[in-house]
Chains A and B, each alone.
Chain A
């Protein structure tokens, strides 16, 4: 008799355990859904965790208004297929209401603005726990994140005063107005996520597979042609065979030149990669502590 489980199965079991713990300890959880592979894996884990019952909480998508149309189409099809409830928080609405201000300059990133919309929407829905797809291997500040990450009344993270997390015991107690961010994929690496998607045959948006697309190279990042990206003087669109390693806003998600057109190809490519997946993202390049600062303010 086999008395142990592979690392992938252990991670899956841990993720399911965390999801059930949240469903049991909180009243109004939501799952933050971005359309990216990590949030798709979270939805998959949630279905497993509560099977044969439906997922007992809604999905929440913070729509920057700068999403790839493929992402939105995938989102709507998934929600329909699994019969989940979807809430959408709109960054455009926050801008229109004067809650957020577009960054100056051409092709502004709405990455930072998302935090305003996110916190407003969480408050509006009275959310007490929000699942995020963050992984500790992504970035140095994330490496110190808890599974159950406490947020004060202003949605802020205090990295120096985090609750210790021991064994498999998770403390979700809080005062009125506070909430938790919960990261069921904390212990997964990028490779684990891809291996899992392959093993479980989970459907992901076509953007992850290689295809022909018009792009422009800016500051070492390949940006896709879209209505939110306009050319600066001296730039031109070039058609290349690319794919996306991570999916965010069209304005800040860089593509990589790649011929990987199947899951197997992607796994081999990830295994051989010499840069992190966030390396292609403009938003992390601001400063050494860019992520820490955004997280403190209440970012994903």
Chain B
């Protein structure tokens, strides 16, 4: 066959290899494989490498020699991957091994992780950098506990795509029924985990069916082969391209005139002229230039290693983070996280560690083990200690603040490791769930005069019967509160209604609330004093949270002049489910419009305490997006809000 001679060992046809331009368009896909000793995982990888011609003759000879010496009848492709002597002797995989192959479409990096129970640690390690996970299931055995564990870990680490390869189909007579049975059972389980994208392919790694070439033995299967799927699955969507986060790695000062901040953009993008804030100092400045070896860059994107310079001389050092003023991460010292324990030394509450997060390292104490999660049954149990391969939810207190996002929203700024201060070993991998919130925090009134959340006496909280996740799955989008704030006449409601219409037409479940509705109904008893306004916002926030809990995207259009009120609404829904839209049309423009004649009345003193005239409007500091309707039509502004919601992951 012609392909045989023109396709090289690197799997790249010579013609393509020569064409540097085409090569520079090649994408990279990192995936992890998990399966138990006998599921044929190593054989599958061996098959992928072999069939894409990524194995060299001398490697093949080594395998042939070794197979022969061992007295094996067939070629043991697993020998290609088991690199350590102990692994070959015991015929098991001990450590994560990295494998590489390329096709004309993509370069692939495989993190090959062992599947036996004691190696949850390695599976987590392999999954931490993966875009996709292949879970192998032996068709003869069906869905085993460990197949579920692999799925659970993939979902825990937020791997966006899970591919279930039902292997050894040759040993079940290529039975469609066997495949369908496994598919039904595993889908049911995966639904509980919230795996976004789940695909099933029946294969025989040993014979090669549906790995690289379509199977003649399974005409009933009309899906893609495994390699075809790997070459075409969309991998760019889950990178966070919105929230600009730049952890400063190293400061460059070659001479008195140059001071640059080296680092890799963790998420989002930045361009010269962009306004930035330095954390933790809070100093503001602008990006002067994106410096690279090749010269000045136009922008720096998520994943780029660059050097940034600033307009003003600001004191910045390693461990600081550069972000945008209207898009801040959470800054805090108390965090709630899921950890996977990676050492024999057990964890008990009160132990102290180094916590390394982005380029920052701080002392940390585990204050509480909330519960352990059984990786096989997913049951939660209260425990005093956890040990190697355990997964638990814990609370941590840090000696100084870190700047983080929820892991779910940002892998780079939502992850950390714990390091033992004595052995220096990496003892845990952590995924941040959010700020530690005690029940008392939620119910007790804050001391600073903010909005209070009341609770009636003798009421015991019962959690929802149907979970939000279930509702969202049925709706096909996430629940959220989109909160429009701005001066009277700024265009909040007009834009809000346009957004609702667009969402509705996309098939989203929506609810729109504005002053007119609530003031005529549930809040009819309230006036406009400061106290009544606070109560007004409190009720609206609670109502919105109930609608959101029911799965809707709730659009709220209220002047809501005080930060505390808006922050209270934000605190009622999970991180990432709140979108504050600042309709920032300036006062002069709003007053010029004066659609309801209210500004005139306020100027005439007929209306007292009017926001913007006789009462303050506290401008948002953390709004997700700002739109000014002076020069934008309502639809244009609405379109921007929709785009923001998209980037926030509201549509999945």
- Which A residues are within 8 Å of any B CB, using their own CB? 3-14, 16-17, 20-21, 23-24, 47-54, 136-137, 139-144, 159-160, 162-169, 171, 173-175, 186-187, 189-192, 195, 198-199, 264, 267-268, 270-276, 279, 288-289, 292
What string of 1s and 0s marks CB contacts (under 8 Å) between B77-111 and chain A?
Answer: 00011111110100000111111101000110100
CB distance A276 to B59 under 8 Å? yes
Partner of B23, one of A8, A24, A159: A8
Partner of B56, one of A5, A52, A199, A273: A273
Give the 10 A-B CB pairs with smallest separation, nearest first. Answer: A140-B83, A271-B8, A7-B28, A271-B17, A53-B254, A173-B424, A279-B58, A16-B305, A272-B8, A7-B107
C-alpha gap A118/B292 in the complex (Å): 34
**CB-CB under 8 A for A5 and B254, given A171-B356, A288-B62, A292-B83:** no
CB distance B100 to A187 under 8 Å? yes
Partner of B102, one of A6, A13, A21, A189: A189
Partner of B99, one of A53, A54, A143: A143
CB distance B412 to A6 under 8 Å? no
CB distance B98 to A271 under 8 Å? no
**CB-CB under 8 A for A171 and B9, given A8-B24, A164-B429, A279-B56:** no
CB distance B98 to A198 under 8 Å? no
Least CB separation from B30: chain A residue: A187
Point out the residues of chain A lying under 8 angstroms from B528, CB to CB: none
Least CB separation from B420: chain A residue: A173
CB distance B252 to A53 under 8 Å? yes
CB distance B88 to A166 under 8 Å? no
Least CB separation from B56: chain A residue: A276
Point out the residues of chain B lying under 8 angstroms from A144, CB to CB: 83-84, 95-98
CB distance A13 to B57 under 8 Å? no
Partner of B83, one of A16, A143, A187, A189: A143
CB distance B424 to A13 under 8 Å? no
- Binding stretch for chain A, among B117-125, B191-199, B499-507, B615-623: B117-125
CB distance B97 to A143 under 8 Å? yes
| Chain B interface SS verdict (over half) | mixed
Point out the residues of chain A lying under 8 angstroms from B429, CB to CB: 164, 166
**CB-CB under 8 A for A8 and B8, given A17-B249, A171-B424:** no
CB distance A159 to B95 under 8 Å? yes
CB distance B411 to A167 under 8 Å? yes
Q: Tell me how far the C-beta of B557 lies from the nearest C-beta in chain A, rounded to whole angstroms.
A: 31
**CB-CB under 8 A for A264 and B18, given A13-B304, A51-B292, A164-B342:** yes
CB distance A289 to B305 under 8 Å? no
CB distance A17 to B84 under 8 Å? no
Point out the residues of chain A lying under 8 angstroms from B57, CB to CB: 274-275, 279
Q: Tell me how far the C-beta of B54 lies from the nearest C-beta in chain A, rounded to whole angstroms.
A: 9
C-alpha gap A49/B81 in the complex (Å): 33
CB distance A189 to B254 under 8 Å? no
CB distance A13 to B303 under 8 Å? yes
CB distance A186 to B98 under 8 Å? yes
CB distance A173 to B318 under 8 Å? no
B405-433: which have CB < 8 Å to A?
411-412, 415-417, 419, 424-426, 429
**CB-CB under 8 A for A54 and B254, given A5-B301, A273-B56:** yes
Least CB separation from B253: chain A residue: A53
C-alpha gap A116/B233 in the complex (Å): 48
Q: Tell me how far the C-beta of A190 lies from the nearest C-beta in chain B, rounded to whole angstroms.
A: 7
**CB-CB under 8 A for A166 and B424, given A276-B58, A276-B59, A288-B62:** no
Least CB separation from A192: chain B residue: B107
What string of 1s and 0s marks CB contacts (under 8 Å) between B14-34 and chain A?
Answer: 101110100111111000000
Residue B50, interface by CB 8 Å: no
CB distance A168 to B412 under 8 Å? yes
B98-157: which have CB < 8 Å to A?
98-100, 102, 106-107, 109, 121-122, 124-125, 128-129
Q: Tell me how far the C-beta of A189 lies from the nearest C-beta in chain B, rounded to whole angstroms.
A: 5
**CB-CB under 8 A for A141 and B12, given A166-B417, A166-B429, A195-B20:** no
CB distance A20 to B305 under 8 Å? yes
CB distance B8 to A164 under 8 Å? no
Q: Tell me how far the C-beta of B398 lies from the nearest C-beta in chain A, rounded to whole angstroms.
A: 16
Q: Tell me how far the C-beta of A277 lies from the nearest C-beta in chain B, rounded to whole angstroms.
A: 9
Residue B475, interface by CB 8 Å: no
Given pairs A12-B305, A271-B10, A289-B84, 14 additional interface contacts (CB within 8 A) = A3-B301, A7-B26, A16-B305, A17-B264, A52-B291, A140-B84, A141-B83, A144-B83, A166-B129, A169-B415, A171-B426, A191-B10, A267-B17, A274-B57
Q: Tell me how far the C-beta of A291 lies from the nearest C-beta in chain B, rounded to whole angstroms.
A: 9
What string of 1s and 0s marks CB contacts (under 8 Å) between B44-79 and chain A?
Answer: 000000000000111100100010000000000000
Q: Tell me how far the C-beta of B6 lies from the nearest C-beta in chain A, rounded to whole angstroms.
A: 8
Partner of A48, one of B99, B258, B292: B292
Q: Tell me how far the C-beta of A18 lies from the nearest C-beta in chain B, rounded to whole angstroms.
A: 10
Interface size grouping (class) on chain B = 35 or more
**CB-CB under 8 A for A13 and B253, given A6-B27, A195-B20, A288-B66:** no
**Can you show 28 pairs from A to B with CB atoms below 8 A apart?**
A3-B301, A4-B27, A5-B303, A6-B25, A7-B26, A7-B107, A20-B249, A24-B249, A24-B318, A50-B250, A52-B291, A139-B83, A140-B83, A143-B98, A144-B98, A160-B84, A160-B86, A163-B425, A164-B426, A165-B426, A166-B417, A169-B415, A186-B98, A195-B20, A267-B17, A271-B8, A271-B10, A271-B12
Residue B241, interface by CB 8 Å: yes
Least CB separation from A278: chain B residue: B58
Partner of B24, one of A6, A48, A264: A6
CB distance A199 to B20 under 8 Å? yes
Residue B332, interface by CB 8 Å: no
Give the one of A51, A164, A288 with max B CB within 10 A: A164
CB distance A166 to B124 under 8 Å? yes
C-alpha gap A11/B357 in the complex (Å): 22
CB distance B94 to A160 under 8 Å? yes
**CB-CB under 8 A for A141 and B303, given A10-B28, A48-B293:** no
Point out the residues of chain B lying under 8 angstroms from A160, CB to CB: 84, 86, 94-95
Point out the residues of chain A lying under 8 angstroms from B81, CB to CB: 140, 143
Residue B330, interface by CB 8 Å: no
Point out the residues of chain A lying under 8 angstroms from B356, CB to CB: 169, 171
Q: Tell me how far the C-beta of A280 lies from the nearest C-beta in chain B, rounded to whole angstroms.
A: 9
CB distance A10 to B303 under 8 Å? yes
CB distance B98 to A23 under 8 Å? no
Q: Tell me how far the C-beta of B33 lies from the nearest C-beta in chain A, rounded to whole angstroms.
A: 13
CB distance A275 to B84 under 8 Å? no
CB distance B293 to A47 under 8 Å? yes
CB distance B26 to A6 under 8 Å? yes
Point out the residues of chain B lying under 8 angstroms from A270, CB to CB: 8, 10, 17
Residue B541, interface by CB 8 Å: no
CB distance B17 to A191 under 8 Å? yes
CB distance A273 to B8 under 8 Å? yes
Residue B523, interface by CB 8 Å: no
C-alpha gap A159/B424 in the complex (Å): 17
Least CB separation from B418: chain A residue: A171
Residue B179, interface by CB 8 Å: no
B302-319: which have CB < 8 Å to A?
302-305, 307, 318
Point out the residues of chain B lying under 8 angstroms from A267, CB to CB: 17-18
Point out the residues of chain A lying under 8 angstroms from B417, CB to CB: 166, 169, 171
CB distance B100 to A21 under 8 Å? no
Least CB separation from B235: chain A residue: A4
Residue B236, interface by CB 8 Å: yes
C-alpha gap A20/B264 in the complex (Å): 10
B239-288: which have CB < 8 Å to A?
239, 241, 249-250, 252-254, 258, 260, 262-264, 269
Point out the residues of chain B lying under 8 angstroms from A186, CB to CB: 98
Q: Tell me how far the C-beta of B136 lies from the nearest C-beta in chain A, rounded to whole angstroms.
A: 19
Q: Tell me how far the C-beta of B269 lies from the nearest C-beta in chain A, rounded to whole angstroms.
A: 8
C-alpha gap A13/B426 in the complex (Å): 24
Residue B359, interface by CB 8 Å: yes
Give the one of A169, A173, A195, A270 with max B CB within 10 A: A169
CB distance B424 to A288 under 8 Å? no
Point out the residues of chain A lying under 8 angstroms from B263, CB to CB: 20
